[in-house]
Structures are given as structure tokens and as C-alpha cells.
Chains A and B, each alone.
Chain A
Amino acid sequence: MADSQEEKLVSIIKEKFEDQVVLVEQLYDFLTITLKKDKIVEIIRFLYDNPETKFQFLTTITAIHYPHTNESRTVMGQASNIVVDTPAPEGKIALMYQLHNLYSNERVRLKIYLPESNPVVPTLTTVFSAANWMEREAYDFFGVIFEGHPNLKRILNVEDMVIFPMRKEYPLEDQTRDDKRDEMFGR
């Protein structure tokens, strides 16, 4: 994607949603726009309908948990202020939408941040039917609540699971094993 195309896309978004854009950056040659969470569905709808953008294919939706974003912590005995990621305006759970314009082969990544305590966002199924299962997956693993989703229940994990396993506060390992003694793993 040529730089001019990207600049044009950014200017189209900024023209209408200037107040929503938090950060525009290139991550590994991939245009990434961090937005405020309030108008995300409206913005994606606008990118879908606008004849200048035509982002009519939803590549993926997923969530990311950044537990240490904008937080000072102690590393190797030294207190240091580490900025792990880009500024998180509202919270530690990021939601990432990746859109594709199949006419011009342009791609864009949109990112919003949600608070850990109450990660609620309106559903994107009103724009893309394909968002249905992707949002169920994000709910299953990160506990993001998609308001207005027609069938928001777990999709991959067992139905009686009570945790959101990809959140960093939950341990990866199966907690029902009693044969793995810590001393054997240097813990």
C-alpha cells in the first residue's frame, strides 16, 4: 500500500472523526489506528459505506490483554517506568479489528482499549455477519462483552469454564494436577 493511499485514508477518517483518533502508527508496515471506543461501530460502518474506502471485508477481530500498560513496575530490583505498548487511553484490554479493502487491496488495523473491570463494546454483527464467531471467540478467551450480539456464548472452550483463559491473571497450566512439584521446575 502506497504511503499516499494511507495518508488519504487517515485524512478521510480524521475529516469526520477527528476527535476519535488517538494515535496513528505504522506497526511492521501495517497502518494501525488507535481510536476511542465510543464510535467504533459507526466508524467501521463509515469505512464500509464510503466509496473512497470500501473496507467491506472483515479479516479478523481479536482482543489483547496488556496487564502492565502504563504502569511502573520493578524489573531486576530497579524501579523503572516501562511503557510496554502505545498509550492505553481507557484500559488494559485492547480490541483489534482488521479490515480489508478488496478493491484496492488496502488493509487497516483499528484498535480500541476497554477497561479490565467492564470490557463492554457494541457488537459489529450489525455491519459484518462474520463478526459473530469472532466476537464469541473474543468473549470466550478475554471476557469482552459485545452488546447486541445475537448469541454471545463460549465457542471453543468447555461451556462450564468460569475463567477467561487468555487474560494474564489466569495461569496457563491446568490447576488440577498434583504431580508437578514446584521444586522440580525451579520455582
Chain B
Amino acid sequence: MENVITTQSGSKVTLGEKPEGYEGAGFFATSLEKVVGMARKNSIWPLPFATSCCGIEFMATMGAHYDLARFGSERLSFSPRQADLLMVMGTIAKKMGPILRQVYEQMAEPRWVLSVGACASSGGIFDTYSVLQGIDRIIPVDVYVPGCPPRPEQIIDGVMKIQRLVETESLRRRDSPEYKAMLNKYGIE
């Protein structure tokens, strides 16, 4: 299955899988949807919304050892307007809820949300009057990463699950009635 080639300098490089299509001498034909999906999947710009220890694990994830750049996500976007993926990492206090929601609303479609760690996903150990009991109470979430905090491998696994969504979802997911109904449920748009 794996397509390994050896470069001139001798290092081995594994090429990604080809999408389904027709191949002949000098050409390869496939659907536009698959090409765009592949392009999107390998150039996700994450917006890190890090508030606590999960954010520290995220720093390790971005560092040289784990290196999220290998997945095409080395370019962090600190403006929500250019970001594709909102990564929420850490405890979200109720007072921060409206801010997180505003950041989500400022992101352009298509957009995805990764909830990293127990606190972002469910409030975690902070079952208390001041902490939001999961960010999915105010914004929709695509993938949850369990852990307190999760290791970088787990965060990468979550990003890979997001990649799978990005690759396989229809190009204009935002036009589908299900998606619109889902956003309406959150009172967005």
C-alpha cells in the first residue's frame, strides 16, 4: 500500500495515498471534490485557544519532537478570520464562554472545532458554578480528545480525525440543511 520513494540524497519519503481516479500515461483524473478535500486536509490552519495545561501539551505538539507541521498544520493562525480549525485546550470559565463563541463566529467557513482535554470537553474536574461544563454547550464540536491533559500523541490523533473529516466531507458542507439546523440549534446565524 505504502508508496515509498528514495530521494537523490538517499532519504526515504512516504507519499500519501492517491485518491480514486483514472490513470494513464502522463495524466491522472479524479473528482474536484477529492482534490480540494486533499488540499484542505493537508493545509489546516489551527487557531490555538489555550487556557491551561492542555495548552502546554499543545506546545509540545507543535515542537520539533512531535511536530504538527508534518500534518500540514505548522502555520498557526492567531486571527480567527484566517483559521480553519479552532483548537480549544483548557478550562473555559463561564465568563470566557461569550468570548470563545465570538471567536468561533468570526471564523470563516469551512471551519472545524477540536476540543482537547477533559475540561474543554465536559468541564473535567471543575464541576463548579464558575466553569462551563463543556464547550459544546455554546459551540459545535467536531472531535473530542480525552485526557487530563492528553499527551501530544493524543492531540495528533485528534487532528488526524479532523483531517479525515476535512477530507471526506462535502465541499460545501455549510449549505447542507443538517449543518444549518445544527448551527441554528446553537443560535448561530
Contact = CB atoms under 8 A, between A and B. Distances in A.
Contacts of A103: none
A176 B133 contact: yes
Interface stretch (B11-19, B124-132, B156-164): B124-132
A157 interface: yes
Contacts of B94: 157-158
Contacts of A177: 123, 127, 133
A174 B131 contact: yes
A44 B1 CA distance: 81
Contact of B128 (A158, A163, A174): A174
A157 B130 contact: yes
Contacts of A165: 129-130
Interface string A90-127: 00000000000000000000000000000000000000
A176 B131 CA distance: 11
A163 B130 CA distance: 11
Interface residues of B, number: 9
B133 A172 contact: no
A173 interface: yes
Nearest to B128: A172
Nearest to A154: B95
B122 to A, nearest CB: 8
A174 B95 contact: no
Nearest to A177: B133
Interface of B is mostly: loop
A157 B133 contact: no
Contacts of B128: 172-174
A174 B129 CA distance: 5
B28 to A, nearest CB: 49
Q: Which has the most chain A C-beta neighbours within 10 Å: B94, B129, B133?
A: B129
Contacts of B123: 174, 177
Nearest to B95: A158
A177 to B, nearest CB: 5
Contacts of A176: 133
A153 to B, nearest CB: 14
Contacts of A171: 129
A28 interface: no
Interface string A67-94: 0000000000000000000000000000
A163 B94 CA distance: 14
Interface string B134-171: 00000000000000000000000000000000000000
Interface string A159-187: 00101010000111110110010000000
A129 to B, nearest CB: 25
B141 to A, nearest CB: 16
B95 to A, nearest CB: 5
8 contacts: A156-B130, A161-B129, A173-B127, A174-B123, A174-B129, A174-B131, A176-B133, A177-B123
What are the 7 tightest A-B residue pairs by CB atom distance, in nearest-first order? Answer: A165-B129, A173-B127, A158-B95, A158-B94, A174-B133, A177-B133, A172-B128
